[in-house]
């Protein structure tokens, strides 16, 4: 079984946002065993798996990423789209553009405290396109 669907997420403000439910509500019935691959079609946002219970984790992610790659750096030459653009590209490359999650018993098999995050690195990122691919039996 193979299934693929593209969805458009609503615009999220800059930060780290749980999107697990946005993903699962768009895939329908999952196979008994398989994998789900989730890919973001953008270069200034990313996807990751992490803590889904305590919102302070999202604040700490944002704080840490901004310390690692601050805005308004004189060495950045890609600045036409704003001070947050080049840092967003770098952050996106560090975090990554996709996650792959096992499927077991017709459900995605995340850990108890895991969720899928949209990492929005732009102040005005807008809606984001996601490709969800499911394969299994």
Domains of the chain: 2-136 (2.60.120.460)
Cα–Cα distance, 133 to 34 (Å, whole number): 11
* Interval 12-53: pLDDT, tens: 999 999 999 999 999 989 999 999 999 999 999 999 999 999
- Predicted confidence band of residue 82 (pLDDT cuts 50, 70, 90): very high
Helix orientation angle between 56-68 and 85-95, rounded to the nearest 10 degrees: 110
Model pLDDT, residue 39: 98
Question: What does each C-alpha distance from 5 to 39, 66, 92 come to in angstroms?
Answer: 11, 32, 22
* pTM tops 0.85: yes
Given the structure tokens 């994998």, which residue do they identify? 35
């Amino acid at each position: 079984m193979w299934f693929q669907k593209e969805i458009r997420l609503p615009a999220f403000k800059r930060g780290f946002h749980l999107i697990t439910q946005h993903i699962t509500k768009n895939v329908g019935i999952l196979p008994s065993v398989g994998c789900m691959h989730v890919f973001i079609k953008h270069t200034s946002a990313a996807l990751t798996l992490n803590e889904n219970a305590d919102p302070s984790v999202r604040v700490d992610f944002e704080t840490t990423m901004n310390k690692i790659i601050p805005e308004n750096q004189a060495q950045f030459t890609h600045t036409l789209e704003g001070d947050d653009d080049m840092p967003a590209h770098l952050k996106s490359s560090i975090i990554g553009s996709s996650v792959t999650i096992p499927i077991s018993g017709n459900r995605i098999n995340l850990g108890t405290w895991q969720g899928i995050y949209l990492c929005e690195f732009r102040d005005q990122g807008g809606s984001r396109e996601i490709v969800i691919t499911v394969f299994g039996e």
